[in-house]
Amino acid sequence: MSLPIFFFASPVTINELVQLPEETSKHIVQVLRMDSGEQLQLADGKGNLHLVTITEPHKKKCVIKILSTQQSDPPARKVKIAISLLKNASRFEWFIEKATEIGVSEIIPLICERTEKQHFKKDRFENILVSAMLQSQQSWLPVLHQPISYGQLFREEDTMLAAQKFIAHCEEQQRTSLVTAADPTQPSQLILIGPEGDFTPLEIKTALDHHFTPVTLGDTRLRAETAGMVAATLLCIQ
């Protein structure tokens, strides 16, 4: 049976005694009823998985000792998805959860011409990412950016840096299937997913002017969060 795993972002060293946050302590001691000497794991979202043992099982300030650390390499291929915020926040939450489970490296929320603006609940969204990372037993947490305007995206050099760049849209223009266009040997890929109502013709033109490849995700018209999910699957599972 695998050991329970929790998120702990702070750096630690071997043999260090660490006091865990109250919420984590409560789950370990009250919910799982773990006691002194029992082992669990801590993931920091940066590739480190720590094996630890409980030394003081306090429900508010559980103390553990770091036994060993296993470090995993980052994904060989970085997949970035820039997707419009959605009118229904729960659908956006569903997307970022599933994208994390699949292995997306970065999520860039976009504010497009047709985006119906919503409050960006960064703390809540990051908690969803952490839960999805732990659930899928990964060691790397995706980077969740602050929302940026569609135009600003093209001025962000770090965000725009990718070996392959795609825009998925529904206009009747020449497009290539993402299945065909995506090259799994490339080190990084970025895809743009529009809002409900799709990108505007001017937004599509802007992407094409910046050397994005127009792609289709299939023969059916997809909801924005479904399009994001399909894109994540096609790019990550290769």
Domains within the chain, CATH numbers bracketed:
5-71 (2.40.240.20), 78-236 (3.40.1280.10)
pLDDT at 159: 86
Provide the 3-class DSSP secondary structure of residue 137.
coil
pLDDT at 1: 59
pLDDT at 179: 94
What element of type H or E holds 102?
helix 89-102
192, 197, 142, 138: CA torsion to nearest 10: -110
What number of other Cβ atoms are within 10 A of residue 91's Cβ?
15
Token pair belonging to 107: 């999520």
Token pair belonging to 164: 């392959």
pLDDT at 39: 97
The predicted model scores a pTM of 0.91
Q: Splitting the chain (238 residues) into consecutive groups of 10 residues, what average pLDDT does each group show? A: 90 96 96 96 96 96 96 92 94 96 96 88 94 94 96 92 95 91 95 95 96 93 94 91
DSSP state of 93: H
